[in-house]
Structure 1
Amino acid sequence: MAREKSKRRTGGSRRVTGVLDIGTSKIACLIAEVGPAAGLRVIGAGQQRAEGVKGGVIIDLDRAEGAARSAIAEAERMAGIELSEVHVAVSCGRLKSHNFTARVDVPNGVVGEADVRRLMTAGQAYVEQGGRALVHMNEVALRLDGTPGFRDPRGMAARELAFDLHAVTADEAPLRNLMMVVGRCYLEVASHVPAPYASALAVASEDERRLGVTVVDIGAGTTSLAMFAEDRFVHACAAPMGSTQITFDIARALHTPLAEAERIKALYGTVVCAPSDEHDAFTYPSAGDDDGILFHMTKAELAEVIRPRVTAIGHYIRQRLDESEMTSYAGRSLVLTGGASQLTGLGDLLAAELGRPVRVAGPQAIPGLPPALSSAAFSTVVGLLVAETQGEAGRRVYRNRDAEPESYLKRVGSWLREGF
């Protein structure tokens, strides 16, 4: 039986919104009040250790549901309300970017909402093939009768309307499983947002996005890239690699429990050694050893364990940059975020690997955001709030949601209601 939703009234035109990031190592939920005058203020926050998730993909519905419920309930208790819907980050399903042009004739000679809707529907049909589902679509440029430079075509005289579009798609099954977890928490999915896009909005400034920037988020289970050029979102990708693999490398090399390996990584992990690291040692227990014997290792030796995995992640980033046709438009600036970005020396190593300047950054400050959720590990969930409340960089395609044809999101929403 679905829970009853309580309502909270806010003064003026203020509204309440909720966002949810189901990651590999943690699940985070934020609830915020939004208003045109006072802006954005977090009123509820919750986080739990993730269960049933691997590499950003749901592998156990029951465990993932339990962890998500706990994070959502914690945020709701703090805010004093119950959510009915959330905006959800998507990092699963082999995210892929598509850059293409869609054109439609304008039979009436004046562009109307129906013409824009036909163009958007054609673009969605173009990318939703072969088991792929649309996650996000934004305008890169538009032309009327071949002439560029327009902002909003509606009401303009033209014979042909053309949009240069950027779309992000995911494999349908992992996306459906993600939304199924949300549905089992008795919440509707208000929208799904590519996780790399959300992270980029949280850490890259408007000037950086306008001049061109690539944002790399290295999390526990995924490494993702988002590129911006002239304040337009132009490319995204993600791969199932992250700091969890570094933890496993440490556990295997030292033959120590995973919890101990995570502690060692957080306290002593580095990829750039100082001379003192040759002598700076720490102790650790061995897995399965009940005799209380402690072993010793220096920080320099630990760096040799960590560096190969970090180098592999750097090679993946360089390969994606080399392969993307948008790299030349996004420029050389690179911003690094995510929990793994706090690893000592990672920014310097990637700068040397990629041959470009690297800035390590956490999410922008938002009033009411708890300090525990203000680190780079929470860039995605903070970026979800930015995407939902402060306007989206890369101007979304003009949509009349009430008049849209049934989308993938609505189809799955109907399936969830029928199934539960």
Structure 2
Amino acid sequence: MDEPIIVGIDIGTSKICTLVARVENGSDLRILGVGIEPSQGLRKGVVVDLQAASLAVSRSVEKAERTSGFEINAALVSLAGSHVSSINSRGVVGISGGVVDREDIERALDAAQAVAIPHNREIVHVIQRSFIIDGQDGIRTPIGMHGYRLEVEAHIITASSSTMENLRQCVAASGIEISQFVLNPLASGEIVLTENERQMGVAVIDIGGGTTDMAIYIDGDVWHTMVLAVGGDHVTSDIGYILRLPITQAEEIKLKFGHAQKDAINPEEQFTIRSFGGDAPDRINRVDLAEIIQARMEEIYHLVLQEIRRSGYDGLLPAGVVLTGGASLLPGARQLASQVMGLPARIAQPQNLVGLVDQINSPAFSTSVGLLEWALLIAESSQYSDRRRPKQTGEWSIKIKDLLRRLLP
């Protein structure tokens, strides 16, 4: 039986990462191709220069094709930006024949989508949270159950149509068809969260370059999503502005000397910089740099906490928060998150990967690898790179059914 080849393209503000993987043993991912390219033409997850963004995507795809030896025809693509929003809705239908089947679920989800959505927005995800049959709630898988009235609680994620169309053009310039857009925190959550965390209640927070994305999981399903237009690049900008440094130098200093907690730094530690117009190198206290970083990271965490409280689920997260994304690598980021939000926190990255994994064993690539996990789960219903699909049996069938429970389509 041929093993399918799956592809994900993570289009971020700081980097574009194309991954090609082969599915082995029905559920294992072997990374065959990696194409990482500095991002251009994007700001806060949104295309601002179509030509530059298209060129960066093309370069990333070419690198992945070269290392994998496969021609890429279709891929899943990540989606972020403050234009993304979500609402909760409920759909109610009568059960035809007295026994719930797939058609009844689809009709219920269609009814849940019958909400007023502006003409300039389109639905990205419809995530079913739970079902109610004849007043009995908390039903996870209603197929085959008897009843007369079926209700579904759904989480609907929408995005700007024009922004999504610009992303489509960027990818189409490389001759690639977008199989599906996947919201960043959903892709990240697929790869970094444990099943226990999903069931208990957890928030995955993906801190990227231009955006901070969050998804709240309770009882195994997504209950709330949010995208903030602030991220690690803002920390770099703060450093450059206050210390009067070029952005490239500010980024180097952040990575080399940065810390998210000033109290953890020895007050006597110093480093040397050369600012704009400086005749001689300046000595900077590392604690001053940490103070700049801490201020911005605290703001990000406060905004996330504010959104968690606004959602009403702040008391339902015993598993705390799981941090991922490039900015979570800052020393002290985890401790500061736990301190500001008053929740347990851990940093997560992709695990148990084989193949060309040296470059992607980092929280910065959680979304990239998460896209492959999504592609793996829906490979039965979508055709990716080479149209080779296994039969739906055994563990694979279970994975597909689990995905259909969590996301349609």
Structure 1 residues 189, 125: CA separation in 2 closer, same or farther (over 3 Å shift)? farther
Structure 1 residues 276, 96: CA separation in 2 closer, same or farther (over 3 Å shift)? closer
State yes or no: 1:378 paired with 2:348.
Answer: no
Structure 1 residues 322, 93: CA separation in 2 closer, same or farther (over 3 Å shift)? closer
Structure 1 length-normalised TM: 0.86
SS of residue matched to 2:92: strand
What is the CA-CA distance between 1:125 and the residue it aligns to? Answer: 3.5
- Deviation by residue 1:255-312 (Cα, 9 ceiling, x = unmatched): 11111100000000112235763221111112255x5x21110111111222221121
Work out which of the residue numbers 95, 116, 134 in structure 1 matches 2:123: 134
Determine the structure 1 residue equivalent to 2:355: 368
Determine the structure 1 residue equivalent to 2:89: 100
How big is the alpha-carbon RMSD for the aligned residues of Structure 1 and Structure 2?
2.3
What is the CA-CA distance between 1:99 and the residue it aligns to? Answer: 2.2
Determine the structure 1 residue equivalent to 2:227: 238
Work out which of the residue numbers 283, 287, 303 in structure 1 matches 2:272: 283
Determine the structure 1 residue equivalent to 2:13: 24
- Deviation by residue 1:108-131 (Cα, 9 ceiling, x = unmatched): 434344333322223334264453
What is the CA-CA distance between 1:37 and the residue it aligns to? Answer: 4.1
State yes or no: 1:187 paired with 2:204.
Answer: no
Work out which of the residue numbers 307, 313, 318 in structure 1 matches 2:294: 307
Q: Structure 1 residues 32-41 or 50-59, which shifts more?
A: 32-41
SS of residue matched to 1:344: coil
Identity, % of aligned positions? 33
What is the CA-CA distance between 1:374 and the residue it aligns to? Answer: 1.3
What is the CA-CA distance between 1:13 and the residue it aligns to? Answer: 3.9
Work out which of the residue numbers 329, 335, 344 in structure 2 matches 1:357: 344
- Deviation by residue 1:21-75 (Cα, 9 ceiling, x = unmatched): 1000000011111144462211111110000000001111110000001111111
SS of residue matched to 2:9: strand
Q: Structure 1 residues 306-315 or 116-125, which shifts more?
A: 116-125
Work out which of the residue numbers 314, 334, 344 in structure 1 matches 2:331: 344
How far, CA to CA, are the matches of 2:20 and 2:164 in structure 1?
A: 23
Query: Relative contact order, CA 8 A, sep 6+: which one is greater?
Result: 2
Structure 1 residues 140, 399: CA separation in 2 closer, same or farther (over 3 Å shift)? closer
Determine the structure 1 residue equivalent to 2:193: 204
Q: Which amino acid aligns with 2:195?
A: E
Q: Is residue 94–residue 237 contact of structure 1 (8 Å, CA) maintained in 2?
A: no
How far, CA to CA, are the matches of 2:240 and 2:404 in structure 1?
A: 44
- Deviation by residue 1:233-264 (Cα, 9 ceiling, x = unmatched): 11110111011111111111111111110000
Structure 1 residues 169, 400: CA separation in 2 closer, same or farther (over 3 Å shift)? closer
Superposition pairs of residues 248-327 of structure 1, within 5 angstroms? 248-273=237-262, 277-289=266-278, 293-327=280-314
What is the CA-CA distance between 1:169 and the residue it aligns to? Answer: 1.5
Q: Which amino acid aligns with 1:198?
A: A
Determine the structure 2 residue equivalent to 1:34: 23
Structure 2 length-normalised TM: 0.88
Determine the structure 2 residue equivalent to 1:224: 213
SS of residue matched to 1:279: coil
SS of residue matched to 1:277: coil
Q: Structure 1 residues 234-243 or 102-111, which shifts more?
A: 102-111
State yes or no: 1:175 paired with 2:164.
Answer: yes
Determine the structure 1 residue equivalent to 2:45: 56
Structure 1 residues 37, 280: CA separation in 2 closer, same or farther (over 3 Å shift)? same
What is the CA-CA distance between 1:152 and the residue it aligns to? Answer: 4.0
What is the CA-CA distance between 1:202 and the residue it aligns to? Answer: 2.0
Work out which of the residue numbers 176, 197, 204 in structure 2 matches 1:215: 204
Q: Which amino acid aligns with 1:139?
A: Q
Q: Is residue 25–residue 220 contact of structure 1 (8 Å, CA) maintained in 2?
A: yes
Structure 1 residues 172, 326: CA separation in 2 closer, same or farther (over 3 Å shift)? farther
Q: How many residues align?
A: 388
How far, CA to CA, are the matches of 2:226 and 2:248 in structure 1?
A: 30
How far, CA to CA, are the matches of 1:392 and 1:90 in structure 2?
A: 22
Structure 1 residues 142, 371: CA separation in 2 closer, same or farther (over 3 Å shift)? same
How far, CA to CA, are the matches of 2:187 and 2:221 in structure 1?
A: 13
Work out which of the residue numbers 384, 387, 394 in structure 1 matches 2:374: 387
Structure 2 portions without partners, runs of 5+: 378-398
How far, CA to CA, are the matches of 1:49 and 1:41 in structure 2?
A: 24
Structure 1 residues 247, 118: CA separation in 2 closer, same or farther (over 3 Å shift)? same
SS of residue matched to 1:33: strand
State yes or no: 1:72 paired with 2:86.
Answer: no
SS of residue matched to 1:371: coil
Structure 1 portions without partners, runs of 5+: 1-11, 402-420
How far, CA to CA, are the matches of 2:27 and 2:366 in structure 1?
A: 22
Structure 1 residues 13, 148: CA separation in 2 closer, same or farther (over 3 Å shift)? farther
